[in-house]
Structure 1
Amino acid sequence: MKTSFFFQATLTTVAGTLSALAISTSANAATFVDTELSLLVDVSGSISTSEFNLQKQGYVDAFNNADLFNNFISKGDIGKIAVNLIYWSGTTQQQQSVGWTLIDSVEASQNFANAISATTRPFSGSTVIGSAINFATPLIFNNDFDSTRQVIDVSGDGTSNAASTAAARDAALAAGVDAINGLVIGNSTSLFNFYDDNVKGGAGAFVLQANTFADFASTVEQKLKREIISTPPITSVPEPATLIGLLGLGAFGVTTKLKRHQKQAVKC
């Protein structure tokens, strides 16, 4: 009798918990995409007006190209991504110049390109990569999207001269960001090594190098395609040998967004 009562009580607990989780997930309904990609673009004082324009045009051209959607974005499991664009410079100089945008068609991709084209340069100060990462991270966890992979991409032409870049990277990864990639502008080995050691982090993370600002556009296109088709490593899932195991798997399936918000709340 005791065993029967325990079994019935456990089933009731499982059903009630799953129901509560489903309600929580519904209340935090999000658009599911393959990747959430945050583009962090350096506008510090070392970047001239012409170099800023080359960076901006590189992203405009990449998202204007129908190939990006037709042969990369659309090939994902869901066939959609979400992306935003942030200009950054000094410690308190960060601006989300293009907010989170759903890319689910060639037209949407080209509209995002037009939005980038319409932006203006907001800063021209020092180079503080860590503050840029700290600014971008909560925007990922408080947007209207959810995904299997969240990526921050940092492009720049100099090492950070304030705050700890590695600490900001580690905090972002601890909060739930899957990968932080870098795009180095210039042929400096020491700059590449700085990004490799302090910016890059997470599963499948990488650093690319554009030797000149003129090379930026082609490198951006290569970078975006690599980020879009990247998938997180496969991890084994334990078999649901008990009702508790079943509950864990059920919760995993319906509470991705909720868990991400919880992680962010812990971080704050």
Structure 2
Amino acid sequence: MGYAARFLSTLCSESSARRVSLAVGSDWGWGVSMLLFLLLLIAMPFGAAYASDVDAAIVFAIDASASIDPMMAKLQRDGHASALSEPIVIAAISSGRNGCIAVAYIEWASPGQARTVLPWSRICALEDALIAAQVIRSKGSDGEHCQSYCATSISDAIDVSMGLLDAYQGGAVSKIIDISASGTNNDGPPLELSRRRTLRRGYIINAVVIPQVRTGAIRHLLDYFTRNVIGGAGSFAIESSGAPDYANALRRKFLHEISGASGPRDRYETAAISSPDREYPLRRRPHH
């Protein structure tokens, strides 16, 4: 509590109120009481009450199942760390209504195997993003520590992320779950039930999809994620072709989410749409 608040609190104590009532008549006493009340309102720490308000609260939910080898694990770690701290992303964050976002980073596989790599962290400037990026790079999965059955439970990833969004201490214009995965749901509760529970809360589920490679054949999963995973206002899925463009795809996704939460997105999204070798179209869930 600041000095002004302590001083006013003392004035409003029982003994102080008694001294005021003795010193002034009833009419003046009422006026003094109202003045003290208004001064207390002014002195209250409004900044602290709203210190956690952000334009978007985003949970990065990262696939750490058995299909994620060391190369893909590094791809996800470095991709998120790099995209989060890019100057254009920081500029988009700063231009928002609150000028900040909040991010958390979890890794998941089968139910009960999810872990938090980066707890809720407020990103308002490049310095904040660099700190978060360092935690992601140093504490994220290396793709070599799946000691038991590690399946792909997207449903559990959504449930865990939903719990984190529920617990976020502060206001957020939008609350988003970002799934990064290279497989379909094959463990845990039914995906549609987890998805519906999350959407009922008003949260958004987006996804960045890494094509699945098995016995030399590439299986594209964008349609699966579009129809079965994403949901909510403005939700979308985006596919990366692999290591060369994963960070670029993430960058566009971040810009779309941040700009979508804080207002018109054209200024920043246009700059992220194309790279020298490809574009990153957003795939939205079809309306029925």
TM-score (norm 2): 0.67
Residue 29 of structure 1 deviates from its aligned partner by 5.8
- 1:8-31, Cα deviation, whole Å (9 max, x unpaired): xxxxxxxxxxxxxxxxx9997661
Q: Which letter maps to 2:175?
A: Q
Find the aligned partners of 1:27 and 1:35 in 2 and give their Cα distance: 18
The aligned residue for residue 247 of structure 2 is 217
Q: Does 1:227 align with 2:246?
A: no
The aligned residue for residue 227 of structure 2 is 197
Cα distance, 1:27–1:115 mapped onto 2, change above 3 Å: closer
Give the unaligned 5+ runs of structure 2: 1-45, 213-217, 264-288
The aligned residue for residue 175 of structure 1 is 201
Find the aligned partners of 1:195 and 1:57 in 2 and give their Cα distance: 23
Asked if 1 retains the 8 angstrom alpha-carbon contact of 2:208 and 2:239, the reply is yes
The aligned residue for residue 166 of structure 1 is 192
Asked if 2 retains the 8 angstrom alpha-carbon contact of 1:54 and 1:214, the reply is no
Q: Which letter maps to 2:191?
A: T
| Percent pairwise identity | 28
TM-score (norm 1): 0.72
Find the aligned partners of 1:210 and 1:225 in 2 and give their Cα distance: 16
Q: Does 1:67 align with 2:51?
A: no
Q: Does 1:37 align with 2:62?
A: no
Greater Rg, structure 1 or structure 2? 2
Residue 211 of structure 1 deviates from its aligned partner by 1.6
> Greater share of helix residues, 1 or 2?
1
DSSP-derived class of the 1:118 partner:
helix
Matching of residues 15-54 of structure 1 within 5 Å: 31-54=52-75
**2:165 alignment partner, one of 134, 140, 144:** 140
Find the aligned partners of 2:87 and 2:47 in 1 and give their Cα distance: 34
Give the unaligned 5+ runs of structure 1: 1-24, 234-268
Asked if 2 retains the 8 angstrom alpha-carbon contact of 1:55 and 1:213, the reply is no
Cα distance, 1:166–1:190 mapped onto 2, change above 3 Å: farther
Cα distance, 1:119–1:204 mapped onto 2, change above 3 Å: same
DSSP-derived class of the 1:45 partner:
coil
The aligned residue for residue 151 of structure 2 is 126
Ranked by relative contact order (alpha carbons within 8 Å, sequence separation 6 or more), the top structure is 1
- 1:89-142, Cα deviation, whole Å (9 max, x unpaired): 112111111000001111111111111111142853110000010011111121
Cα distance, 1:190–1:54 mapped onto 2, change above 3 Å: closer
The aligned residue for residue 95 of structure 1 is 115
